[in-house]
Amino acid sequence: MKELNIMEATAYTSPNPLTLICSLNENGTTNLAPICFVSYLSFNPPMIGFAAGKQSHTGKRVRETGKVIVTVPGKSLADTVMACGSSTGATTNKVVENHIEMKAVDGSDIRIPVDTRLAIVATLQQSVDVGDHILHICQVDKFLGDEDRKGLYAWNGFGKVAPAAEG
């Protein structure tokens, strides 16, 4: 075996889970950011966690509002997901810039893309400093699924997004 750095290792675990994290901007609009550092953490109560870079607007807003919707994007959003990963909600309205069709979620002020396979509506419980990221530990309020939509995964580490069947 050969020794790898962490970026090389992420290519070995591909396809990696991919989420598009939806959070609330200060002005009430929704911000979107692709995040692969995500995991289920507990069955009972259902809990999930995601790690966002310390500079991420998503992380800042989830810590300020205590609310998040973690989504698995549908396959029509492949290019959109990559675009949302190259700008920040601190200065850009990514939904408007990328012409993303959104829909409301009952009981939440945060909206989600129409082409969503799974939406996990969650409340922040704890945030933990982890190296250059902050881990957000959240309790799940509800899971909403649409099995007819094909979900996206991250390939080549985080370099490309595509459905899993492609591999």
Ligand X SMILES: Cc1cc2nc3c(=O)[nH]c(=O)nc-3n(C[C@H](O)[C@H](O)[C@H](O)COP(=O)(O)O)c2cc1C
Give the residues lining the site for ligand X (CB under 6 A): 18, 31, 33-37, 51-53, 56-58, 82, 85, 87-90, 133, 154, 158, 161
**Minimum CB separation from ligand X for residue 51, in Å?**
6
Please check whether residue 34 is in contact with residue 157, taking contact to mean a CB–CB distance below 8 angstroms: no
Cβ distance to ligand X smaller for residue 122 or 158: 158
Contact 112, 71 (CB under 8 A): yes
> In the complex with ligand X, which residue's Cβ is closer, 44 or 150?
150
Residue of minimal Cβ distance to ligand X? 85
Which residue's CB is nearer to ligand X, number 44 or number 58? 58
b/e for 79-91, b at 16 or more Cβ within 10 A? ebbebbbeebbee
